[in-house]
């Protein structure tokens, strides 16, 4: 199972919006609404930010939103804040009953 494709990095100024794409195939993202997103600041464990494409767990700010079209999912961070600087990973359930992550995207707040 190949990793999902994410851009290595995105950046934005405080208050701006950034969007991270996550491209898979018809065997994962394209077939299931089971896409999740994780935030990982340096030296810490990942934290769930979005599940089932667009659902936010309790406590996650509504600045974080998710969507999907075809084989590509996206995470948008609106009103970017300094605390949002971290690595972000997408994940999808697959037709093999396994999970696959993306390679990760580093978000930099300028």
Q: Which residues bind another protein (CB under 8 A)?
A: 1, 3, 32, 34, 36, 38, 40, 45-48, 51-52, 55, 57, 87, 89, 91, 93, 97-104
**Closest distance of CB 19 from another protein, Å:** 19
Q: How far apart are CA 4 and CA 60, in angstroms?
A: 23
- Residue 6 Cβ vs another protein, minimum distance, rounded to whole Å: 9
Query: What are the Cα distances from residue 46, in Å, to 43, 49, 90, 96?
Result: 10, 9, 11, 24
Rounded to a whole number of angstroms, the minimum distance from the CB of residue 16 to another protein is 25
| Residue whose CB is less far from another protein, 45 or 82 | 45
User: Which is closer to another protein, CB of 9 or CB of 17?
Assistant: 9
Q: Check: CB of residue 64 under 8 Å from CB of residue 77.
A: yes
Six token digits for residue 76: 């948008």
Q: Which CB sits closer to another protein, 69 or 97?
A: 97
Of residues 32, 91, 35, the one with CA closest to residue 66: 35
Structure tokens at 99: 């999970």
């Amino acid at each position: 199972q190949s990793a999902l494709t994410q851009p290595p990095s995105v950046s934005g100024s405080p208050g701006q919006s950034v969007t991270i794409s996550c491209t898979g195939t018809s065997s994962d993202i394209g077939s299931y609404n089971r896409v999740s997103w994780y935030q990982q600041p340096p030296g810490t464990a990942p934290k769930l930010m979005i599940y089932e494409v667009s659902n936010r767990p309790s406590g996650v700010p509504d600045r974080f939103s998710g969507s999907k079209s075809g084989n590509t999912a996206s995470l948008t961070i609106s009103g970017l804040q300094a605390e949002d600087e971290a690595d972000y990973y997408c994940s999808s359930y697959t037709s093999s009953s396994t999970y696959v992550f993306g390679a990760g995207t580093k978000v930099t707040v300028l």
